Amino acid sequence: MTTGSAQLGDLLVVSSAGGVLLDALALGRSYPGSCSFVAVDAVDTREELAAEHVEFRREPSLRRPLGLLAESVVAWRSMRRRRPGLVLSAGTALAVPWFVAAAVLRVPRVWVETFNIIDRQGLAARVCARIATLVAVQHPARLGVHLRSVLVGELM
C-alpha cells in the first residue's frame, strides 16, 4: 500500500454536502498518504473538515454550462498548483468540473458510488463515472455496470 501511495502521490477529495461527504470522508481519512479537500461550503462540510486542509467552493449547477466551465478553469488552475496524484469524489455536481480538469491533466480519478445507489444514478454521477479511471462500488451487483470498477465493500 505504501508503494502504491508513493506512486500515486497526494489525494485530492472533491465533495458536495450531505451523504456523499460521508463516503468521501471515509476514504479520504484512511488514505495511506497526504490528503486535502475541495468541498461545497455547508454546515456539515464546515464541521467535518474543520481539521483538514480544505478549499470551499459553491455548488455549480449542471444546467449552467458557463458556470461549469468557469469552475473547470478554477479546478484546472488549482490542480496545476497542487499537483495531486489522485482525485476522488462521491458527488455530486462540484465533482464534474474537477473530474474534467483532472482528466485534461491526466490525473487518475476514482468515482465512489454511494451506498444508496442500487440502480440508475443521477447525471453528475453518470458523467463522473464515465470519465473516471476507476469506479469504487459498494454492492456486488454494481460490478460490471461500469467499464472499470472494483468492489470495495461498505464505507460508512
Partner 1 sequence: MTAPNPHDPPRTVVVTVGMGRWPFDRLLRAVGALGDDYDLFVQRGTSDVPLACPAPRFVSPSELRDRMQAADVVVTHAGNTVRLVQRLGKVPICVAREQRRGEMANDHQVQFLRHEQRSGLAVGLWGELDDLAAAIAGHPAVEAALLATRPKPPEIDLDRAWRLLLHELHVEASSR
| Cα R_g (the chain), whole angstroms | 14
Bridge partners of residue 128, in order along the sequence: none
> What is the contact mask toward partner 1 in residues 49 to 88, using x (rule: CB under 8 A)?
----------x--------------------------x--
- Point out which span in 24-32, 64-72, 74-82, 95-103 binds partner 1 (CB under 8 A): 24-32
HSE-up (13 A, CA, CB side) for residue 121: 24
Q: Which three cell numbers stand for residue 60?
A: 455549480
Q: How far is the CB of 17 from partner 1 (least distance, A)?
A: 4
Dihedral (CA of 65, 67, 71, 73) sign: positive
Nearer to partner 1, 23 or 71 (CB): 23
Q: Is 150 in the site for partner 1 (CB under 8 A)?
A: yes
**Helices and strands (H, E) in the chain, number of each type:** 6, 7
Query: Which residues in this chain contact partner 1 in the complex, by CB under 8 A?
Result: 1, 4-5, 7-8, 17-20, 22-23, 26-27, 30-32, 42-44, 47-48, 59, 86, 108, 110, 114-123, 133-134, 136, 148, 150-156
